[in-house]
Structure 1
Amino acid sequence: MPPRRTRPVANRALAALIEQAGWTHAATAQHVNAVAAELGERIHYDRSAIGHWLTGTVPRPEAVRAAVEAFRRRLDRPDLAPSHLGWPAQPAGRPWHDDPWRGDPVARLATLGEDDLLNRRTVLTAGTFTLAALSGLTAEKRFQRYAGRTGAGDVARIRAATASLADLDDQYGGGHARAAVAAYLSRDVTPLLREATGRARPDLFAAAAELSYLAAYMAMDAGANALAQRYYISTVRLADEAGDLVLRATALRSMAVQAAELGHDGEALALADAAASALGGHGSRRTLAWITGMRAEANAAAGARWDALSLLRRTETQLERADSPPETEWTGNYRRESLEHQIGLTLTQLGDHATAARHYTASMNARRPVELRTRVLIGLRAAHAFLRAGDPERAAATALGLGDDVPLIASARVRQELHRLRAGWQRHRGDPLVAEADAAVAPVAQSRSASRSTWPGSRPQQ
């Protein structure tokens, strides 16, 4: 029951939506906080804050965005705007109903990269990760034609730069060198796309899509989920311009990863299935395995246990029969250790934490030196799985085994795993090994540097 109020309700529009949603004031605050967390915003409203909103207080802009999106999801009303909640329109910026699937894909990408580069803090909060945006997967393609000349040399240079920047991401996380990616994308690559014509055009758009994918994955790893979603959509649209089904499937698959990590299980399953549909069964076995593994995880999250286990077996078969050397294709980094990680994620969704921990550990131990961020992320997931399986000492030993690598990583996802781990072993801190591990990771978990301008991987190998 909402508390008895001493001041009259001034915002009747908001009151009506709360009633339609069937939420208490406390539940409303919880949903707003959860959506804000997807933006990387640390806001902690409670039921008293909702009471203030009802009596006429207008929350700050990031709370308005989060509240609108929370009600959109609950009421299945993608048209909702601040005015529907009784609040004034937001300051000038991207329109609330701006559809990233429409318009000139090159112009959109150029603006996105420039905003990311020049006004990072604003772009991190300029929009919210929206489920409504995922409905544009079947939007009509709008192909643009540009006049000018580009060649194979441009394509080679973009791919070489993308590979170098991806190596930095693999080592140090998405919060490191993001500005360099945004600058290169907006100031060097998009001008070439405007001039693309002739035989080199598809390859140039494909190379740009790979770079946009890297920008998306780094943004997601940095906790900027709204920004990452926009980059992923740009990747899909560039891949369509290039006629590259593998790149389209790659972006959709990683959008499924993002949705799954944010707890949107139905959307994750739809995106994973869309990635498989994009390939139509015609990709290499390694690529098919990479997509099938994500479908297994998504089915597990959706509660389809037997479908998930069946898809895992299919993934293993596809990977065992893959005949392409790992690095010869865009999804070529999907190796046995990647499958071990996927099995761990799937079993975690199914509640088999002890077995998941063993697979996480196998994945962690097989990682190459360049995959420092991935090794740390999966190592922390292994530690948490051991903890949930009732083995706090093994969890602590696993965390301690990551040594001095954890402080090197600029990653919101790593920080999130640290927070979960520390919260999980709270009641075991009387154990000397747990206490030692907690003291070792506490400085990194408590650091705020990564949650600001810098918070796995760029390549689809996890």
Structure 2
Amino acid sequence: MAPKRAHPISNTALAAAINQAGWTHAAVARHVNDISAENGVRLYYDRSTIGHWLTGTIPRPEGICAAVEAFRRRLHNPGLTPAGLGWPDVPTVPGPTDDPWQGDPVARLTALGEDDMLDRRTMLTASAFSLAGYTVPARRPLISSPRAGAREAGTGDVARIRATTRHFGELEDLYGGGHARRSVAAYLVHDVAPLLHGTIGRARPDLFRATAELVYLAAYMAMDDGVNGLAMRYYIQAVRLADEAGDRTLRATALRSMAVQARQLGHNREALALADAAASSLDSRGPQRTLAWITGMRAEAHAGVADRRDALALLRRAEAQLERADSLPETEWTGNYRRESFEHQSGLVLTQLGDHAAAARHYTASMSTRRPIERRTRALIGLRAAHAHLLAGDVDQAAATVLDLGADVQSISSARVRHEVRQIRAGWQPYRSSAHVAAADRVIANN
């Protein structure tokens, strides 16, 4: 039942949308808060907030942005605008014509990098997450072309971009996506993007390939830092740059990581479509190690839609592909799927299928064989192992796993790590009287 109101409804467009959605005021607030969180911004709206909106209060731009996306999804209306909810248009709310798959990708990259150097509240409206971005169109040639007066890049520029990407990638795995993310954006905007308009000839494919790798890293860092709208748009431009370079493997890599993002945000059907699109990009003709990496993601996506049989069959196929794979050079850091990666993937699949004890064993096997430089990865997987132990009823082992992570968790800037911490701390609330649990809780309390 709708709450009694002291003031009459003046925003009839919003009232009509709420009625069409079949939501209570509390449900509207919950969905808006959830969508803002997808973009790394916390909003704390409640049912009374929605009541104020109905009587004429206009939300802040980030609230408008999140509300429009919530109703777009619920009403299956990707063309909905703020005006359709009775609010003034906010220029930065992505609209039906703001398709990140269209337009000059170099200009989009520059704008994304500049957004990335602003604060998160600005990015919620400038680069908001929208499910529409997960719809992958047919490949199109880029429209960018060399500009008069631009400096042409050569093999030295390509080598420098790749070396810088590796350096930032190592920092990301040591300290998390929130560390140095804006430095990556600044490098992309000021040093790399200007070269894309000035290069022709032999160096052009390698330049676009190297830039796609850097953009892929920027996307991964933004996703790890919880800024998912920005991450999605980076991933899309990585796909487009890979297409320009003619690199099917890199295209598949970016689509596969978009599937990871969709799965982590709970958009399971979109994750499945993206994982299948990644596989279709290679059509079984890529390196076996990369094929295994993508097959493992397909397994996870099928588990997300409760398709147990296909999930487990794909997981077995991924393991077989991995066993046949030749080693990739260490410089090939995208798609370099190893046994420890497969163990992590197995844990994710089994978590989705509800087999938490088995998932914990796979997470532990993955965590225990990680290299020292993979500190963020080890912390993330270790926390997932601890949560799996907790869900399986083994509270002491969950606490022991957290204690084993030591101070690593506290030194990492990662929204995904913080999410795992929140889940564990909520899960072991009933066991806080245990000295073992209390000691483990102190380790992660300040993350």
* Length-normalised TM-score, structure 2: 0.96
The separation in 2 between residues aligned to 1:185 and 1:297, in whole angstroms, is 32
Q: What does residue range 136-175 of structure 1 map to in structure 2 within 5 Å?
A: 136-138=136-138, 140-146=140-146, 149-175=152-178
Residues 125 and 392 from structure 1, CA distance in 2 versus in 1: closer, same or farther, beyond 3 angstroms? farther
User: CA offsets, 1:264-301, max 9 Å, x none?
Assistant: 00000000000000111100100000000000000000
Q: Is 2:319 the counterpart of 1:316?
A: yes
- Match for residue 87 of structure 1? 87
Equivalent residue number for residue 95 of structure 2:
96
Given that 2:115 and 2:126 are in contact with CA atoms closer than 8 Å, whether structure 1 keeps it comes out as: no
Q: 1:380 to 1:228 in 2, by over 3 A?
A: same
Deviations 1:117-140 (A, max 9, x none): 255652254232111112243364
- Rounded to whole Å, the distance in 1 between the matches of 2:111 and 2:128 is 17
C-alpha deviation, 1:360, in angstroms: 0.3
The one-character-per-residue Cα deviations of 1:301-327 (angstroms, maximum 9, x if unpaired) are 011100000000000000011013452
Taking only the aligned residue pairs, the percentage that are identical comes to: 66
SS of alignment partner, residue 315 of structure 2: helix
Counterpart of 2:99 in structure 1: which amino acid?
A: D
Match of 1:424 in 2: 427
Aligned amino acid, residue 409 of structure 2 = V
Partner of 1:453: none
Written as runs of structure 1 = structure 2, the 5 A alignment for 1:41-440 is 41-90=41-90, 92-93=91-92, 96-97=95-96, 98-118=98-118, 121-138=121-138, 140-146=140-146, 149-325=152-328, 327=330, 329-440=332-443
1:454 corresponds to: none
Deviation at 1:202, TM superposition (A): 0.5
Structure 1 Cα separation of the partners of residues 113 and 43 of structure 2: 27
Cα distance change on mapping 1:309 and 1:390 into 2, 3 Å: same
CA distance in 2, matches of 1:54, 1:309: 48
Q: CA deviation at 1:410?
A: 0.6
Number of corresponding residues: 443
Which residue identity does 1:378 align to in structure 2? I
- Which range is displaced more, 367-376 or 327-336? 327-336
1:143 and 1:241 in contact (8 A); partners too: no
Tell me the secondary structure at the aligned position of residue 370 of structure 1: coil
Kindly state the Cα deviation for residue 405 of structure 1 after the two structures are TM-superposed. 0.8
Which stretch shifts more, 370-379 or 119-128?
A: 119-128
Tell me the equivalent position of 1:451. none
Runs of 4+ in 1 over 6 A off after TM superposition: none
Aligned partner of 1:448 in structure 2 is none
Name the aligned partner's letter for residue 151 of structure 1.
Answer: G
Question: Which residue in the other structure is 2:27 paired with?
Answer: 27
Please give the secondary structure, in 1, of the residue aligned with 2:9. coil
Cα shift at 1:400: 0.7
1:114 deviates by 2.2
Instruction: Tell whether the 8 Å contact from 2:103 to 2:143 is kept in structure 1 after alignment.
Output: no
Pick which of 42-51 and 152-161 moved more.
Answer: 42-51
Q: Deviations over 1:95-120 (max 9, x none)?
A: 53311111111111112112322556
AA in 1 matched with 2:95? W
Instruction: Rate the CA distance shift 1:143–1:218 in 2: closer, same or farther, 3 A.
Output: same
Partners of 1:286 and 1:331 within 8 A in 2: no
**How far apart, in 2, do the equivalents of 1:257 and 1:81 lie?**
28
Is the CA contact (8 Å cut-off) linking 1:173 and 1:409 kept in structure 2?
Answer: yes
Q: Deviations over 1:122-177 (max 9, x none)?
A: 22542321111122433644343315632211111110110011000010000001
CA distance in 2, matches of 1:93, 1:103: 17
C-alpha distance in 2, partners of 1:344/1:133?
Answer: 28
Asked if 1 retains the 8 angstrom alpha-carbon contact of 2:62 and 2:121, the reply is no
TM-score, structure 1 as length reference: 0.93
Alignment RMSD: 1.4
Over 3 Å counting, the alpha-carbon distance change for 1:256 and 1:126 in structure 2 is: same
